[in-house]
Chain A
Amino acid sequence: MSVEAPVISCQNVWKIFGNDPAKFLKTMKPGMSFDDIRAEGYIAGVKDVSIDVHKGEMLVIMGLSGSGKSTLVRCFSRLHDITGGTITVEGQDIMSLPEKELIELRRSKMGMVFQSFGLLPHRTVLENVAFPLEMRGQDKHTRRARALEVVKLVGLEGREDYFPRELSGGQQQRVGIARSLAIEPDIWFLDEPFSALDPLIRKEMQDEFLRLQQMLNKTIVFITHDFDEALRLADRIAIMKDGAVEQCDTPDQIVLHPATEYVRKFTEDIDKARVVHAGVLAEAGATGEGDPVDAGATVHAMARMLVNDNRSMIPVQRDATVIGAMPRKAALDILLGAEA
């Protein structure tokens, strides 16, 4: 990760729902739990969250329904006004932006994909995709050209004149994705984009999404309640419960070192061997013998070698330089479960 300033940075963000949330937050005793707050008649949608999103990174926010993940992402784009704390987007405090500049920010920098697509039913595919361009006043010709380009990018060529209800769920979400990409945003929010789809289509769309991300390399905040999806896509995962972030780390670390009991329960049934990479297991400074393995290889990918090999320390390399060595036993423990 780079040392540049984060694209989105939030400090001690609170979002409270209720009659007079601002006053409540001011007079609230520190250390109140989610249930304590609810007993007072308020709901803590986001509870004291501090998190940074870096350029080009994919941050996945994971949590069960009602955990505040959707609320948090809506705070990033100020679809919700936050109750306390600060959120800066590319250095600008978004709560202090006047409406005009906020609209400008959304028109030029942000794109968002919604769980139930949020398509306008009276517009064709092409008109839906061109909608953000139309709103910012681009002329008909350029917006049509750009919209056609994005429609092609998401593989909906030939469906430009269809109406949303004439498309399948997967196709509709492609339209949603195309629309969010039309303005070439730097920051891309995806709110459970694949949850409403069938499992098979979901897998297909995830692949499609990874392909797009490889081409576009955007800064992404991705929301899901599906832990497998999170592991599959994320650079980092933030796990939320009752409005608070329980842990925010790389998938490897979350699986290996769950910070709380709640996170541990989530990781329990996960096949860790498919998540943990050699790079994470490597101890810097240690040396091993023989051919090195690649830092990006999962334990699962190395399984046969791990079983057949008899070295105790295996060197690990990243980009052709050795970064350390991995104890074979540690990798085997992950593959087979620790010895009792």
Chain B
Amino acid sequence: MWDNIAILTAAPVFNIQLLLDGLFIGATFALAAYGLALVWGVMNVKNLAQGDFVMMGGYIAWWLGTQGIHPLWGLPASIVIMFAFGWAVYVLMIRRVIDKDMFTSLLATFGLAIVLAQALNLMFGPEVQTAESDFPIRSYFDNAVTIADIKLVAFGLCGLLALAVVLFMKNSRMGQAIRATAQDARAARVMGIDTDRVYAFTYALNAAICGAAGALISMIWVIQPFYGISHSIRSFVIVTAAGFGNLPGVIMAGLGLGVMEQYGGFVLGAEYQQATVVALLLGVLVWRQIEMRRHRQVVQ
């Protein structure tokens, strides 16, 4: 561990590599987490199937890649397919848990996560996969930093998608209806907004965002049927740290998580990378609790 830290201080250029890798992967985390913040904030549904939606999007892009279609086309394909899938899931189950207590949605989506992970496993096998995008890999800083072009492309696409979602939420009628429902569902219903449709759209939009994040992850990183749960945990870490309705916070927390994970994996060893995510979750929860305790004391 100390050896690895020594490497980082002796050759600062390694930091750039870790930092950039972290930012590129963190951008996709932030995208998926924004979807979670959306359903959590609007519908009060804690979607534990988030990471499995991401994996589904990844497998759509990867499968298109194996069929001879460039996986970048998988991005629009998975957005469309996942939107329809999200709508179907809403109609079949989420509609019925939306007004139940909070644990119900958590457990129901956990069941969904198990079904999806296993279905992916049966369809595509348990191997770790990467969608080949055939972009060149370039070196910078005297060959000390190597970056695949696809990572830059994916980073740009992440930004574009986030911008599109923000503009949609701000300007379109549906976006306004979603924000109105989030503020006060009952008042929105009185004003003639079909909240059921708004919920369905929100959930489908979340699935589409996850699908897009997954398609990008399949090109710049790896996918595997059972990696869904760690992506769900990541989304929860980000949303819990940032709070919902706080888009800059979600982006910062997402990028930060990506960077911290890279550093954790490098400094402590690759086997600790998963543990870093979970440890961060616990850290965030403890920190929140300390803050709550301070808040309670102030109130008293």
A and B associate in one complex: no
A-contacting residues of B (Cβ < 8 Å)?
none
Chain A: residues with CB nearer than 8 A to chain B?
none
